[in-house]
Chains A and B, each alone.
Chain A
Amino acid sequence: MKIKLSKQLAQYKLEIDTQISATGICVVFGRSGAGKTSMINMLAGIDTPDSGSFSIAGRCFYHSQQGINLAVHRREIGYVFQQARLFPHLNIEANLKYGYSAKQDPGSDFYQNIIQLLQLQNLLKRYPTDLSGGEMQRVAIGRALLRKPKLLLMDEPLSSLDLPRKLELIPYLAKLNQQLQLPILYVTHSLDEVLFLADEMLLLDQGKIVLQGDVETVWNNQKMQPWLQQNQLSAIVHGSICAQHQDYPLTALDLGAQQQLWVNKIDKTLGTNVRIRIYAKDVSLTLTRANTAETSIRNIFACSIADIIKSEQNVKIKLALADNFLWADITLWAFDELQLQLHQQLYAQIKGVSINNTDCALPQH
């Protein structure tokens, strides 16, 4: 998918020039007003760019110089909006089938598959007013998929839902990504959704792409700092499950270079790839390795200081650990007394109990 678009918006000029892989979820991340929705509205054909071009797998949807600008309904691009936008006068079945033509693929069980994937069986005869927010959004996703789009755009599809509904919907989205070979552009400003859903990530600010790449790289990049600090500074590490504790509900992750991280039990088979978020507040530093027989801390890692960011209240230390990074939050006082230096070797301690299933995701690709 090749995207090269520019458009003058009220506050700034949106300029995007990128390529996005043909499968998996690419999260478009950024604060509100960064141009995320403007970007995908131009892809859908709802807004027209000033200039540029846009094509998927060689098929051109927009090209300002060649005068190509396909109308929204001819683009075959699915769109799941923030609000479900179900048609109130149609029941769920009619909503789902609105863009679906059974004649196009006779004998196919695509419709049944989508119904099953999103578990819509029991909703078909009901009307949108009778549905909960999460159910409505599931129907909206199914409706967009049944159109058989070449690309699915999702504009903060979970933002109108409360936390339990969000958690209820995330597994569906992950499953969707796994089972359908469909590129998804997913707009969000939620780090949780990035952690759980993203294969690729694109950081947008003031209408420009600041960073793009796989989630670990972008997350741990210096330029992500402002976004991470707004919530709580954290790092993402990746590893694979290498052991389940015999006596306690704990799982060990292999982070590479013989480093093992114990976290709350993840009920998956050995070898499963896992993505873990570790908050800076849960990481402490020592100069000598503590004896695990004398401390409650289970995770002690030899690492080196990769960066030091001082502020008035505290010091943020970036630590290199095998091919992962960690952040540690310490006080100025501790920083001065330990006399920490760049590239210094030391030990990071992480409380295993602080990492639970809201911090761990299973990447699909």
Chain B
Amino acid sequence: MLTEFEIQAISLSLKVAFSAVSFSLPLAIVTAWILARGNFYAKPLLDAIVHLPLVLPPVVIGYLLLIGFSQQGIIGAWLIEYLSVDISFSWQGAALASAIVAFPLMVRAIKLSIEAVDSKLEQAASTLGASPFKVFFTITLPLIVPGILSGVILAFARSLGEFGATITFVSNIPELTRTIPLAMYSFIQTPGAEQQALRLCLIAIGIALIALIGSYSLEQKMRRRIAHQH
């Protein structure tokens, strides 16, 4: 039913999006917690930096990544020398681009849910002898699961749709970096491939719908489980 080319694009897209989301999630939770609860001088600056990818043109991000992470780039050269990892023109590079572009969306959703946690519950937990560490993992974290979930879904969706930063940073290489949007772009550029473009378009819509419906029902279930008492 699906052509090999389509299967390649789909699996590459999913792989890129999954890695982008799972690797940036812990950092997003920490960042969201600092932004929600922290009280320090440089907070507005941190907030601005976190939100920058949301407002910058993706091509700018791709360009910056190219400067930083290409084989000649400062970080890229370091990675090759000390860790023997080269992420330029690879699916890992596409994942990095997706992660950066999706990061603010994830942080925002999680930050909102942390702000909604009743700090009186955390206070009660500490009077019961729980260290701040225990309070976070037994009270705060379980209560923000719905927020984390919606952040993950948003970031996942944004990753699937990532185009500008990816094509700038890791180019459009079949089997390596040609995700669904890039594949579609190629079809549109090719005369007579309108039908293939349309098929990919429908596939993209299908994936998005499945993800959204799945996340909605999961979130409902979570919310019921941790329904607030007031």
Contacts and interface: CB of A to CB of B under 8 A. Distances in A.
A98 B227 contact: no
A147 interface: yes
Nearest to A46: B123
A87 B120 CA distance: 10
A243 B100 CA distance: 84
Interface residues of A, number: 28
B142 A85 contact: no
A72 B126 contact: yes
A358 to B, nearest CB: 30
B124 A85 contact: yes
Contacts of B226: 88-89
B228 A88 contact: yes
Contacts, number: 66
Main secondary structure of the interface of A (DSSP, over half): loop
Interface string B218-230: 0000000111111
Interface in A118-139: 127-129, 136
A92 to B, nearest CB: 12
A83 B120 contact: yes
A76 interface: yes
Interface in B18-76: none
A128 B229 contact: yes
Interface in A62-82: 71-79, 81
Contacts of A98: 125, 128, 130, 138
Give the 10 A-B residue pairs with the shortest CB-CB distance, closest first. Answer: A99-B128, A89-B226, A85-B124, A79-B127, A72-B126, A73-B126, A99-B129, A89-B142, A128-B229, A73-B129
B121 interface: yes
Interface of B: 118, 120-121, 123-132, 138-139, 142-143, 225-230
Contacts of A144: 127-128
Interface in A137-175: 143-144, 147
A204 interface: no
Given A128-B229, A129-B227, A85 B130 contact: no
Contact of A87 (B125, B127, B129, B230): B125
B26 to A, nearest CB: 21
Given A128-B229, A136-B229, A85 B129 contact: no
Contacts of B128: 73, 78, 98-99, 143-144, 147
Contacts of A77: 127
Interface of A: 44, 46, 71-79, 81, 83-89, 98-99, 127-129, 136, 143-144, 147
Contacts of B142: 89
Nearest to B141: A89
12 contacts: A73-B132, A75-B127, A77-B127, A81-B124, A83-B120, A87-B139, A88-B226, A89-B226, A129-B227, A143-B128, A147-B128, A147-B129
B229 A76 contact: no
Among the interface residues B120, B124, B139, B143, which one has the most CB atoms of the partner chain A within 10 A?
B124
Contacts of B227: 88, 127, 129
Nearest to B226: A89
The listed residue with most A CB atoms (<10 A of its CB), out of B123, B132, B225, is: B123
Given A128-B229, A136-B229, A87 B130 contact: no
B225 to A, nearest CB: 7
B79 to A, nearest CB: 41
Nearest to A128: B229
Contacts of A85: 118, 120-121, 123-124
B222 to A, nearest CB: 9
Contacts of A71: 126
A116 B185 CA distance: 70
Nearest to A143: B128
